[in-house]
Structure 1
Amino acid sequence: MSELKRKLAGWDTIIIALTVVVLVIASLGVPNFGTSRNFTFLVLDLMPILLVALPMTFIIVTGEIDLSVASTLGLASSIMGWLWNQGLSIESIIPICIIAGAVLGALNGFLVTGLGLPSLAVTIGTLALYRGLALVVLGDGAVADFPFNYTGWVTGTIGGGSIPNVLILIVALAVIFGVVLHATPFGRSLYAIGANAEAAHFSGIRVARTKFWLYVVSGAVAGLVGVLWTLRYSSARADNGAGLELAVVAAVLLGGVSIFGGKGSLPGVLAGVVLLAALQNALRLQDVSGQALNIVTGALLVLSVLLPNIATSIRSTWQRRRLRRAATV
């Protein structure tokens, strides 16, 4: 019973319950929020955040971070537009963009694990570097004449209903990442690295190699999202995805993943993504400005770090008081 109570009091359970409450309130109180058409837009809005948040969860669990994901997305979009102008087919361009993202992630991984540089400083640097390269590749213009069978699939729905096609991809990747993190020795090793990297190394875990490949996967997924972003808006631009890294980190931390590593769950992250996307969607339907949306995202980022620490402190205080009462009996 105590184990059940502990799980119910966990931050991921709280954030899942809060997400349900927000969805219910928004459906009842915000015009058009609960419509099937808006559901499609909501899924399309949360798609880039959720997909990028999957490998980001793994990275933050190990105690590292990747702030270059949005710039990787933008560079992949620029490469896609440039290659399309050169006459390559979409079928050839998509894997090239994913591989390009993986290469960019590998550079991050090498700088962090090979040279021992702090991931925060490295990925802030590559955030600027990759965005600059995107401008070099495509300039400040846009490429917009992509084939409709691809753009239509990304924005379309299954059988013409209300379930977006991209939800299939979202669910498939979420299941794969969830199983890897929570049901495999590799996933358990990530928590061990985040809790104590030195102890994990002495227990036989290849810490540097593990972190390196996490950055490679993060880059590859960002490259894939760059393709999906481009096809959704039918526009390849160097500034695509600008600022997305803030929303991704906010969603991951809001979902209960500790910024210091070693703690967190993927269900909590998924709930955090849905909560963030639902709040932004509801505010847009209420004609709230983009600046206000940025304020909300920033506030959630602060709260996502602050509230779990407050909850942990309160829980520790209760436990100490209970132990003292038990000792006096």
Structure 2
Amino acid sequence: MSTTVLPPKETSEPRPSAFAEHSPLRRLLSWEGAITALLIFAVLAASFGVEGFADSFNLTNAQLDIVEIAILSLTLTLLVVIGEIDLSIASNLGMCSALMGVLWNAGLSIETIIPITILVGAVAGALNGFLVTVLGLPSLAVTIGTLALYRGLAYVLLGDKAVADFPVDYTSWTSKTIGSLPIPNPTVLVIILAIIVGILLHATPIGRSLYAIGSNKEAARFAGIRVKRITFWLFVASGAFAGLAAIIYTFRFSSARADNANGLELTVVAAVLLGGVSIFGGRGTLPGVIVAVLLVGVIRNALILDDVAPDTLMLVTGGLLIISVLAPNAVTWGRERWRLRKLAQKAASTS
């Protein structure tokens, strides 16, 4: 006796589609969408409420003010994604800047000083990587220590003196714009670096490995991902980017000093976390970080134009750092609660 297998019944409830999961409304409700909206609001408020904000000259200066923050945030994003951190980046920048002054006073050419500076920054990053990956020390403790070490070395190299007689061809390069557009040369460099790092993080197997490491290091190791090697080279890249930022910072202010970029690490960390990168690793996007860097730049520039005291700027940075830690987790908690409530309602309606 043969049996007939009936096809499954079609339910009237539509199946969720990939388009629905990535709809504009869903993206708007994401953390990246929220800070993008906040950036637009901040730009509009500053344009209408702060005199001189929308001038092309000020827009150029505002971009220059966040160049080093943006460069340092690129590699810090990768480190935080894997659950590590580098708090020595600004001190490394200061040390490399002081080294530039020493080498220039010693008679070396700028063409020789630039690669040496990037190499020294990379070596400083390699020391962080060695202590974290080989000795197994926590990156937070290690980089707090090297934060003080590298800043101390900067004062050993240059003391409280300043070197300010760098060639005009190099110092003027940082303030030149692309044609008549209010886009300075360093901004173009940041865009190129951001595209490279963004592709690496979001469109390559290496990027998927970074998220896997941040989600679960042990599982990533069992999956064949070389966790320690990747972590080490990310610290090296962080140091090299600090050396690059030191070159731009020194030429931009035409001054090599041991205290250059003092305290800048807090602003960089605030920008990365405000961009939605989880401090626990495994989550975050580079576009979100770029938007957060722009938001920090707009706020800083508007406050400076409004003659706000530097101490208040530090308070704002500290507040942004606290918000950047609390807010994304609160949003994630709220979305998870909403999802669970929807599941409970669906279960109740079908029972």
**TM-score, length basis structure 2:** 0.92
- Alignment gaps of 5+ in structure 2: 1-19
Cα distance in 1, alignment partners of residues 141 and 29 from structure 2: 35
Q: What is the CA distance between 1:6 and its match in structure 2?
A: 3.5
1:117 alignment counterpart? 137
SS in 1 for 2:265: helix
Structure 1 runs, 4 residues or longer, greater than 6 Å off: none
2:88 alignment counterpart? 68
Q: Percent identity?
A: 59
2:17 alignment counterpart? none
1:27 alignment counterpart? 47
Structure 2: which amino acid aligns with 1:304?
S
Cα distance in 1, alignment partners of residues 95 and 260 from structure 2: 8
Cα distance in 1, alignment partners of residues 153 and 170 from structure 2: 26
2:315 alignment counterpart? 295
Matches within 5 A, 1:47-196: 47-159=67-179, 161-196=181-216
SS in 2 for 1:155: coil
Q: Would you say 1:274 and 2:273 are equivalent positions?
A: no
- Asked which structure has the greater CA Rg, the reply is 2
Structure 1: which amino acid aligns with 2:131?
L
Q: What is the CA distance between 1:98 and its match in structure 2?
A: 0.2
Q: Structure 1 residues 93-102 or 315-324, which shifts more?
A: 315-324
Structure 1: which amino acid aligns with 2:235?
Y
Structure 1: which amino acid aligns with 2:204?
T
Cα distance in 1, alignment partners of residues 276 and 310 from structure 2: 26
2:61 alignment counterpart? 41
- Cα distance per residue 1:110-160 (max 9 Å; x no partner): 000010000000000000000000100111110000000000001222235
The match for 1:8 among 17, 28, 46 is: 28
The match for 1:255 among 271, 275, 298 is: 275
Cα distance in 1, alignment partners of residues 88 and 331 from structure 2: 30
Q: Would you say 1:214 and 2:227 are equivalent positions?
A: no
Cα distance in 2, alignment partners of residues 315 and 40 from structure 1: 38
- Alignment gaps of 5+ in structure 1: none
SS in 1 for 2:172: helix
Cα distance in 1, alignment partners of residues 334 and 143 from structure 2: 34
**TM-score, length basis structure 1:** 0.98
Q: What is the CA distance between 1:3 and its match in structure 2?
A: 3.3
Cα distance in 1, alignment partners of residues 143 and 35 from structure 2: 28
- Cα distance per residue 1:80-128 (max 9 Å; x no partner): 0000000000110010000000000000000000100000000000000
Where is the helix percentage greater, Structure 1 or Structure 2?
1
Q: Structure 1 residues 187-196 or 15-24, which shifts more?
A: 15-24
The match for 2:304 among 284, 298, 303 is: 284
Q: What is the CA distance between 1:284 and its match in structure 2?
A: 0.4
- Cα distance per residue 1:286-317 (max 9 Å; x no partner): 00000000000100000011011111111111
Structure 2: which amino acid aligns with 1:150?
Y
Aligned pair count? 329
